[in-house]
Structure 1
């Protein structure tokens, strides 16, 4: 084999050096974790989470990028359209990217909901959620008892020990009294109902694995006061106050967030921290928020070196300010997203993250001081110039520009990689971002 220094080798070395730190840091970070009493149950969950992260970490992220781009090429083959067609869609199927094509053209989607679990791409592509488990129907939007949640409520559903595919009986607004703490192997599937998580706390995916969240509106989330909260059928404990994230992913693996409409949360819309990995965030519509997505919460926490996230087919729309995303330590593939608004910057980071930006559309704001897509925090150019940040096939509009970095010795091999579709395809690929109105017995 021809000797070469690759990103893969670098990331593997970092992984081996730092994974041993994860469990120690997780077990002592009780304040950050919002766990006031870090008992044996949570210690065991933290240890299991570390093991899951080791298993989910992909030693060759090039293959994941290649796999993703191959699927995009297949869907767009023979289509040279670059227009953002705003008139009524008349195509044979209301699906324009490979994730959606996997399920949305099926008129019997409501009878075969679990097909969705076969459709993820990117680093979270092995996520199956509650596939193979029972269907659990949420019939009650209340959230009045945090220790003994009522059967039929969303809180009762997500703490059950077995895999579940959770759906909703009708349209509803759920105001969570405190953070909603998940157990592993769950799908929350809002297709066929207009479901809003609003006016209260958000979702917490902590030390869990294999979660799909699909089709919800999540907005106007507040920070919580904490208190006694049940986190499984057999355990409850005292939690400190929550930050007010829409979705908080903490020490979790194999997570797929798809077709959410999110806005106006007290903290981040989606935060991914503390050694979480194997995550895809796709087809979401983000609006009216300042600090949108934070990947890696601390410059001092090297355990986030195992973080691998795909951000694909999302629309960053009106009222966006910054952090789309902001990254520390990990590897993030930002691909085929539409950035139509930002006030400060779009993609930022610190502590030498690897960011591969492919086939996105960036429309800069009128402010001449905010034309740059990228922002490096807390590091002089002499330091950040060695970070691997690449822009390939991105469409830059209204003066937008992406400052690349990283030398040839760090660059991942492109020998076997498929060239990404250019950013001119993004209006089509992201056209149906956000929660969509699905009707049973009809293609979605």
Structure 2
């Protein structure tokens, strides 16, 4: 499996020369790793030498070079203390200014110590693949930055937990807690294939975290973010579960250098108990087909498809299963975006037109959407009915489920 390459026409990552990852690796660069230290050596600081890295068992990024488990207290430095931080920057006394001073300096220094452990750079011409059905990378933020030709398959990415979230005041309001780590971050990366990956907060769900300053003390950022001009990405047969903001494609309304990039295909993925961003898109040409959405119970759900600045989304034959209080109009949210082409959508077993429903229900508060996206997907496999795809995805998506 480590030498398998992306099939021709399988999404945007098949464009041009396609995506082969580390298939050309020699024997010396085809290694199996079982600890963080072995994984770091195998990654070699993001070297572009072709390499295949096979992950066996569970690797915890929050460990020292001898394999000892590290806790948040092990990273804390400079006198950082959460209680002192909360007392120093309570908006009722500190006001709406950005935190500054000894406790914020200590938080930044402590965060840097954790980042040095958990941020792992993936270089060009790399394949990372899980061995068997139980390969797990825990607590890590895999970062594919300005690299080309990368494959990540058959791997559970779990609990990229931030020990030191930052308080960010908002204009006209209290603010929000900002955490640092995505389970997987494609930043400026090109030709990347993500396949049969499971990503979640398993172990430390944010809904069990306390509330500070009137806001949930978030410990996680995204499950998979695709930003900073990343391009030619295929995400297939993967599972994103039990999380708030799952997937961001394009990181800012003003990042006009993203025009013509952020071309992403998402097919046969399962979004399960995801509150929002499944995905939210800026600028990108995104083909979204044969995905399954299982909307969470409760009142936290916000939306699934986010149509933002200059995004051009083609959504075909996707299935949504929701609790009774969720309406089809809730599935799509638009900001500055105007283009969504959709066909074959199934909502709780019934065919719906998300575009027509969005425009009918939200025209008073959001911009109307148009089906004119200006492009037609050509790089894709067979597009099944939403119902068939939902069944196939339930059986086959996620780590440990390769056929």
Distance change in 2, residues 1:424/1:188 (3 Å): same
Report whether the alignment pairs 1:206 with 2:145.
yes
Report whether the alignment pairs 1:247 with 2:220.
no
Secondary structure of 1:424's counterpart equals helix
Report whether the alignment pairs 1:184 with 2:124.
yes
Tell me how far apart the structure 1 counterparts of residues 325 and 399 of structure 2 sit (CA, whole Å). 31
Structure 1 residue aligned with 2:354: 402
Q: CA deviation at 1:365?
A: 3.0
What TM-score does the superposition give when structure 2 sets the normalisation length? Answer: 0.66
Question: Aligned match of 1:133 in 6, 21, 25?
Answer: 25
Distance change in 2, residues 1:352/1:180 (3 Å): same
Tell me how far apart the structure 1 counterparts of residues 294 and 382 of structure 2 sit (CA, whole Å). 23
Structure 1 residue aligned with 2:60: 174
Q: CA deviation at 1:183?
A: 1.3
Q: CA deviation at 1:280?
A: 0.6
Secondary structure of 1:395's counterpart equals strand
Range that drifts further, 413-422 or 131-140: 413-422
Q: CA deviation at 1:250?
A: 0.5
Report whether the alignment pairs 1:194 with 2:134.
yes
Distance change in 2, residues 1:422/1:207 (3 Å): same
- The answer on whether the counterparts of 2:282 and 2:307 sit within 8 Å (CA) in structure 1 is yes
Structure 2 residue aligned with 1:294: 248
Q: Deviations over 1:133-155 (max 9, x none)?
A: 13522334134xxxxxxxxx111
Q: Which blocks of at least 5 consecutive residues in structure 1 are unaligned?
A: 1-108, 144-152, 226-240, 439-443
Tell me how far apart the structure 2 counterparts of residues 142 and 391 of structure 1 sit (CA, whole Å). 43
Q: Which blocks of at least 5 consecutive residues in structure 2 are unaligned?
A: 63-116, 165-177, 202-218, 357-367
Q: CA deviation at 1:189?
A: 1.1
Indicate the structure with greater strand content: 2
Distance change in 2, residues 1:409/1:366 (3 Å): closer
Q: Deviations over 1:273-296 (max 9, x none)?
A: 111100011111111000000001
Q: CA deviation at 1:210?
A: 0.6
What TM-score does the superposition give when structure 1 sets the normalisation length? Answer: 0.60
Structure 2 residue aligned with 1:164: 51
Secondary structure of 1:215's counterpart equals strand
Structure 2 residue aligned with 1:423: 386
Divergent runs of 4+, >6 A: 413-419
CA RMSD across the alignment: 3.0
Structure 2 residue aligned with 1:303: 257
Structure 2 residue aligned with 1:325: 279
Aligned pairs for 1:239-388 within 5 A: 243-264=180-201, 266-305=220-259, 306-317=261-272, 319-342=273-296, 343-368=301-326, 371-377=329-335, 379=336, 384=337, 387-388=338-339
